[in-house]
Structure 1
Amino acid sequence: METAFTRLVGVRHPVVQTGMGWVAGPRLVSAAANAGALGILGSATMTPERLREAIREVKSRTDAPFGVNLRADAADAGDRVRIIVDEGVRVASFALAPSRELIAHLKEAGVVVVPSVGARRHAEKVAAWGADAVIVQGGEGGGHTGEVATTVLLPQVVDAVGIPVVAAGGFFDGRGLVAALAYGAAGVAMGTRFLLTSESTVPDAVTARYLAATVKDVTVTTAVDGLPHRMLRTELVDSLEKHGRARTLLRAVRHAAGFRRLSGLTWPALVRDGLALRHGKDLSWSQVLLAANTPMLLRASMVDGRTDLGVMASGQVAGVIDDLPSCAELVDRIMTEAEEVLKSLDHFRSA
Structure 2
Amino acid sequence: MSTRITELFGIQYPIIQAGMIWNSGWRLASAASNAGALGLIGAGSMYPEVLREHIQKCKKATDKPFGVNVPMLYPNIEDIMDIIVEEGVKIVFTSAGNPKTWTSWLKDRGITVVHVVSSLKFALKAQEAGVDAVVAEGFEAGGHNGREETTTLTLIPMVKEQLEIPLIAAGGIATGQIMLAVMILGADAVQVGSRFVASAESSAHINFKNTVVDAKEGATQLTLKELAPVRLIKNKFFHEIQALYEKGTTKDELIQLLGRARAKKGMFEGDLEDGELEIGQIAGLIHDIKPAAQIVADLVKEFEQALISARQIKIL
**Is the TM-score greater than 0.5?**
yes
Unaligned runs of 5+ in 2: none
Say which SS state the counterpart of residue 209 (structure 1) adopts.
Answer: helix
Q: TM-score, normalised by structure 1?
A: 0.84
CA deviation after TM superposition for structure 1 residue 76, in Å: 2.2
User: In structure 2, what is the equivalent of residue 212 of structure 1?
Assistant: 214
SS across alignment from 1:28: helix
C-alpha distance in structure 2 between counterparts of 1:107 and 1:289, whole Å: 39
Say whether 1:303 aligns with 2:268. yes
Alpha-carbon shift at residue 91 of structure 1 (Å): 1.1
1:230 aligned counterpart, secondary structure: strand
What secondary structure, in the 3-state scheme, does the structure 1 residue paired with 2:271 have? coil
Gap regions ≥5 residues in structure 1: 249-282
Alpha-carbon offset, residue 319 of structure 1: 0.9
Distance 1:284 1:341 in 2: 46
Classify the secondary structure of the residue corresponding to 1:215.
Answer: coil
Amino acid at match of 1:94: T
Partner of 2:230: 229
Instruction: Provide Cα deviations, 1:125-164, integer angstroms capped at 9, x if missing partner.
Output: 0101100001111011011223111110111111111011
2 CA distance for matches of 1:201 and 1:82?
24
Q: CA deviation at 1:333?
A: 1.2
* 8 Å contact from structure 2 (residues 213, 289) kept in 1: no
Question: Does the C-alpha gap of structure 1 residues 290 and 53 become closer, same or farther in structure 2, counting only changes over 3 Å?
Answer: farther
1:97 touches 1:122 (CA, 8 Å); kept in 2? no
Q: How does 1:1-351 map to 2 (within 5 A)?
A: 1-146=1-146, 147-222=149-224, 226-243=227-244, 284-288=251-255, 293=260, 296-349=261-314
Q: Confirm or deny: 8 A CA contact 1:115 1:134 kept in the other structure.
A: yes
In structure 2, relative to structure 1, the CA distance for the partners of 1:336 and 1:144 (3 Å cut) is same
**Does structure 2 conserve the Cα–Cα contact (< 8 Å) formed by 1:142 and 1:192?**
yes
Q: Aligned with 1:16: secondary structure?
A: strand
Given that residues 180 and 303 in structure 2 are in contact (C-alpha distance below 8 angstroms), is that contact kept between their aligned partners in structure 1?
Answer: yes
Q: What displacement does 1:100 show?
A: 2.1
Q: Distance in 2 between matches of 1:210 and 1:301?
A: 12
Q: Compute the displacement of 1:350 (Å).
A: 9.2
- Superposition RMSD in Å: 2.2
Q: Are 1:97 and 1:115, in contact at CA under 8 Å, matched by a contact in 2?
A: no
The answer as to whether partners of 1:142 and 1:229 remain within 8 angstroms in 2 is yes
Q: Distance in 1 between matches of 2:51 and 2:259?
A: 19
Q: AA paired with 1:13?
A: Y
Q: 1:76 to 1:4 in 2, by over 3 A?
A: same
Shift of the 292–138 alpha-carbon distance from structure 1 to 2, 3 Å rule, reads farther
In the TM superposition, what is the alpha-carbon distance from 1:97 to its structure 2 partner?
Answer: 3.7
- CA distance in structure 2 between the partners assigned to 1:291 and 1:158 by the alignment: 36
Provide the rounded CA distance (Å) in 2 between the counterparts of 1:142 and 1:84.
26
Q: TM-score, normalised by structure 2?
A: 0.93
Q: 1:307 & 1:31 partners in 2: Cα distance?
A: 27
> 1:104 offset after TM fit, Å?
0.7
Cα distance between partner residues in 1 of 2:315 and 2:220: 41
Instruction: Check whether the contact 1:141–1:316 (CA below 8 A) recurs between aligned residues.
Output: yes
Q: Among all aligned residue pairs of Structure 1 and Structure 2, give the percentage whose two residues are the same amino acid.
A: 34
One-letter amino acid matched to 1:233: K
Change (3 A) 1:157 1:213: same
| Number of equivalences | 313
Once residues 221 and 244 of structure 1 are traced to their aligned partners in structure 2, the CA distance between those partners, rounded to angstroms, is 10
Whole-Å Cα distance in 2 between the matches of residues 131 and 30 of structure 1? 24
| AA partner of residue 121 (structure 2) | R
In structure 1, C-alpha distance between the alignment counterparts of 2:183 and 2:303, rounded to whole Å: 10
Change in Cα spacing, 1:118 to 1:284, as seen in structure 2 (3 Å) is same
Contact 1:140 1:149 in 2 (8 A): yes
Deviations 1:302-338 (A, max 9, x none): 2211101101111001011101121111111111121
> What do residues 1-27 of structure 1 show as CA deviations (whole Å, max 9, x unaligned)?
111011101111111111111110111
Instruction: State whether residues 241 and 257 of structure 2, in contact with CA within 8 Å, keep that contact through their aligned partners in structure 1.
Output: no
CA displacement at 1:118 relative to structure 2? 0.2
- Which has the larger Rg? 1
8 Å contact kept, 2:99–2:115: no
Task: Name the one with the larger helix percent.
Answer: 1
